[in-house]
């Protein structure tokens, strides 16, 4: 196995100057120094600096010219050997240089705020070969056959990506949605009955009933009678319960109560697609009587889908789920079991205190072996430092978090190693994931309304990606031809 890759944090020695090769390719050269301290044999502190010759080619050369002497930058590149013979003495020389593949400005010590915006430059990937751009019949990359995604969103951030991928997006308790669930539709098996009884117990306790054996037996009998019904609604269950207290507690969740429009449907509107997203902003503004029943039901449906297929469960703004005790306890159990079923749970939060102060912090840290940490200028403050040390970070890693660039750098801690990464998201990817705020969403909705099925192509065209728009159009036509041929 061979590998040639170098990553260095350091300070540049001078402002890079731009020049051009005979071929017309722009190039910028500069030296980068990185230092370390040590004690000599006499115990005296010493410092040694290694100097690296950097070469920036193409678009990166223009980025390099925005740097100034003393700027702290991070570069990733390859070590190359070059031979040349000066005319002055005719003696051949061999030099080594680092050909930079990506670079990031970490800190500009002289307060150049405008230059601090310079982050990274990477060329857009070439248009793929249609014959090589292989996907399975559902549009998923062949590297993850039968993969499925369940995303719990806040603020419609994943809405457009879901629509573009052909998934289903549900606004839970949203003002413009008629979404409704039939949580008791699948109660044919013994485990299904056990779950249903436990779920109904939660509903009753949320409504103030101290649930005991008498209530549990009455509910279990009602659930088993409900197995004979084709509709299996909460209203029908409530009518079958031979216990007045249980029946009164359940009324809040039937069509006679405020939650009936969401939980008491005679058919379930939740689809069986492989990319399902749930907008939770409106739901989370309601009380526990609304939040807990819906979340427990949705996670039950997700559990039923865990058949060994690669599964991603995304919880955006995870703090909003952890603050609910009943669901927090359920999540603790899920984290312990889902990994065995080839499922990954991603818990995202902007504030580390959301996890650090949670009652299940130990379970989260133990069962989430991969941590992706955002840049944090306050990483060395006592409150933040305690959490990072709990994760296992040292002083050098805290310094990396302190000087990394927000919305660009991510520090990954995993079993296979630790490193600062840049997702390198280009214009094409940002066309699908870079939508924030109602104004941008309205623009996308208008494109969808105007162009119908062709909205994805027009979306790329409006973003100045005409070649990619044409590629997507040809890809869709290719898939349509394959579908027609398969049905002949």
CATH code of the domain in which 46 resides: 2.40.50.140
| pLDDT by position in tens, the chain (length 488) | 567 888 888 888 898 888 888 888 889 999 999 888 888 888 888 888 889 999 999 878 877 887 888 888 888 889 988 887 877 777 888 888 999 988 777 654 444 433 333 333 344 455 555 444 444 434 344 357 788 999 999 989 999 999 999 999 999 999 888 899 999 999 999 999 999 999 999 999 999 999 999 999 999 999 999 999 998 999 999 999 999 999 999 999 999 999 999 999 999 999 999 999 999 999 999 998 999 999 999 999 999 999 888 999 999 887 777 777 777 777 777 777 787 888 888 888 877 777 777 776 777 777 777 889 999 988 888 878 888 888 888 888 898 898 888 888 899 988 778 888 887 778 888 888 867 778 888 889 999 999 998 999 999 998 888 888 988 888 877 666 554 444 54
86, 117, 148: which is the final residue of a domain? 117
Looking at the domain assignment, is residue 152 inside a domain?
A: no
Looking at the domain assignment, is residue 339 inside a domain?
A: no
Looking at the domain assignment, is residue 123 inside a domain?
A: no
Q: What is the 3-state secondary structure (H, E, C) of the chain?
A: CCCCCEEEEEEECCCCEEEECCCCCEEEEEEEEEEEEEECCCCCEEEEEEEEEEEEECHHHHHHCCCCCCCEEEEEEEEEEEEECCCCCCCCEEEEEEEEEEEEEEECCCCCCCHHHCCCCCCCCCCCCCCCCCECCCCCECCCCCCEEEEEECCCCCHHHHHHCCCEEEECCCCCCCCCCCCCCCCCCHHHHHHHHHHHHHHHHHCCCCCCHHHHHHHHHHHHHHCCCCCCCHHHHHHHCCCHHHHHHHHHHCCCCCCHHHHCCCCCCCCCCCEEEEECCCHHHCCHHHHHHHHHHHHHHHHHCCCCCCEEEEECCCHHHHCCHHHHHHHHHHHHHHHHHCEEEEECCCCHHHHHCCCCHHHHHHHCCCEEECCCCCCCCHHHHHHHHHHCCCHHHHHHHHHCCCCCEEEEEECCEEEEEECCCCHHHHHHHCCCHHHHHHHHHHHHHHHHHHHHHHHHHHCCCHHHHHHHHHHHHHHHHHHHHHCC
Looking at the domain assignment, is residue 73 inside a domain?
A: yes
Looking at the domain assignment, is residue 94 inside a domain?
A: yes
Looking at the domain assignment, is residue 255 inside a domain?
A: no
61, 89, 117: which is the final residue of a domain? 117
Whole domain around residue 109: which residue ranges?
A: 6-117
Looking at the domain assignment, is residue 309 inside a domain?
A: no
pTM: 0.69
82, 117, 152: which is the final residue of a domain? 117
Give the number of domains in the chain: 2
Looking at the domain assignment, is residue 183 inside a domain?
A: no
């Amino acid at each position: 196995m061979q590998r040639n890759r170098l990553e260095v944090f350091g300070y540049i020695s001078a402002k890079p100057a731009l020049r051009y090769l005979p071929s017309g390719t722009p190039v910028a050269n500069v030296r980068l120094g990185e230092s370390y301290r040590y004690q000599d044999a006499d115990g005296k502190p010493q410092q040694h600096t290694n100097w690296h010759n950097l070469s920036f080619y193409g678009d990166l050369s223009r980025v390099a010219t925005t740097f100034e002497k003393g700027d702290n930058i991070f570069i990733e590149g390859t070590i190359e050997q070059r031979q040349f013979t000066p005319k002055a003495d005719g003696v051949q020389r061999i030099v080594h240089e680092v050909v930079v593949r990506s670079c990031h400005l970490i800190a500009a010590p002289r307060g150049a705020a405008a230059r601090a915006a310079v982050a990274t430059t990477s060329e857009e990937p070439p248009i793929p070969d249609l014959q090589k751009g292989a996907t399975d019949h559902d549009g998923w990359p062949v590297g993850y056959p039968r993969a499925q995604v369940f995303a719990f969103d806040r603020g419609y951030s994943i809405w457009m990506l879901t629509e573009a991928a052909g998934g289903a997006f549900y606004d839970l308790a949203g003002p413009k949605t008629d979404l409704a669930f039939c949580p008791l539709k699948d109660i044919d098996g013994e485990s299904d009955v056990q779950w249903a009884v436990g779920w109904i117990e939660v509903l009753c306790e949320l409504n103030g009933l101290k649930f005991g054996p008498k209530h549990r037996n009455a509910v279990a009998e009602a659930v088993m009678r409900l197995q004979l019904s084709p509709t299996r609604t909460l209203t029908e269950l409530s009518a079958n319960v031979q216990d007045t207290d249980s029946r009164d507690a359940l009324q809040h969740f039937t069509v006679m109560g405020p939650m009936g429009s969401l939980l008491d449907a005679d058919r379930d509107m939740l689809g069986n697609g492989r990319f399902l997203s749930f907008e939770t902003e409106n739901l989370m503004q309601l009380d526990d009587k609304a939040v807990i029943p819906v979340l427990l039901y949705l996670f039950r449906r997700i559990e039923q889908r865990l058949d060994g297929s690669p599964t991603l469960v995304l919880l955006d703004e995870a703090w909003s789920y952890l603050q609910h005790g009943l669901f927090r306890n359920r999540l603790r159990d899920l984290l312990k079991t889902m990994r065995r079923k080839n499922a990954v749970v991603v818990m995202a939060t902007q504030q580390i205190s959301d996890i650090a102060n949670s009652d299940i912090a130990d379970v989260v840290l133990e069962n989430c072996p991969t941590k992706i940490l955002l840049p944090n200028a306050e990483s060395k403050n006592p409150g933040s430092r305690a959490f990072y040390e709990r994760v296992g970070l040292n002083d050098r890693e805290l310094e990396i978090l302190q000087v990394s660039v927000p919305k660009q750098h991510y520090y990954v801690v995993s079993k296979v190693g630790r490193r600062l990464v840049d997702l390198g998201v280009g214009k094409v990817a940002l066309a699908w994931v870079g939508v924030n705020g109602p104004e941008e969403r309205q623009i996308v909705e208008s494109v969808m309304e105007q162009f119908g099925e062709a909205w994805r192509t027009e979306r790329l065209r409006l973003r100045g990606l005409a070649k990619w728009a044409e590629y997507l159009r040809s890809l869709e036509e290719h898939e349509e031809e394959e579908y027609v041929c398969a049905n002949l």
